[in-house]
Amino acid sequence: MGRRMLTGSTSAPYTIPIRNRMSKTKSDHRDFADDRDLYSGLIRLHVLHHAAHEPIFGLGMVEELARHGYRISPGTLYPLLHGLEKKGYLRADELRNGKSRRKVYRATPLGRRALRAAGGKVRELFRELMEGK
């Protein structure tokens, strides 16, 4: 993504409408949830990546992930964010805007280091996947 702020207020709904599956073949019936285990690490890296660039918040991240085809509910994402915070990869801050408060997350130095290390592994995997090696 570009420099779009993930912390800006948004009016978009955070639930993604379920696609019409009536005319799809059997393999297309598979839901993202069926393969979630496969993507959980990628989702965490994705979150960490954005949190290293700018403060992120839950619903903004749900939207960003949906844009990439990861359908993940706030009920799944929030525990994931807390988990990354517990591990020391993310730091949470509360932003106050008048009466409303919003929890934002930023990558910690440990998180940035982990992200850099993961980057090398992702690059290798990408190469193998794309070049069929």
Binding mask 50-69 for Zn ion (x = CB under 5 A): --------------x-----
Tell me the residue nearest to Zn ion as measured from the CB: 1
Beta carbon of residue 50, minimum distance to Zn ion (angstroms, whole number):
6
With contacts defined by CB under 5 A, how many residues of the chain interact with Zn ion? Answer: 2
Beta carbon of residue 61, minimum distance to Zn ion (angstroms, whole number):
9
**DSSP class per residue in the chain:** --S--SSS---S-SSPPPPP-TT--GGGG--GGGGHHHHHHHHHHHHHHHHHHS-B-HHHHHHHHHHTT----HHHHHHHHHHHHHTTSEEEEEEEETTEEEEEEEE-HHHHHHHHHHHHHHHHHHHHHHHT-
Beta carbon of residue 51, minimum distance to Zn ion (angstroms, whole number):
11
Positions touching Zn ion (CB under 5 A) are 1, 64
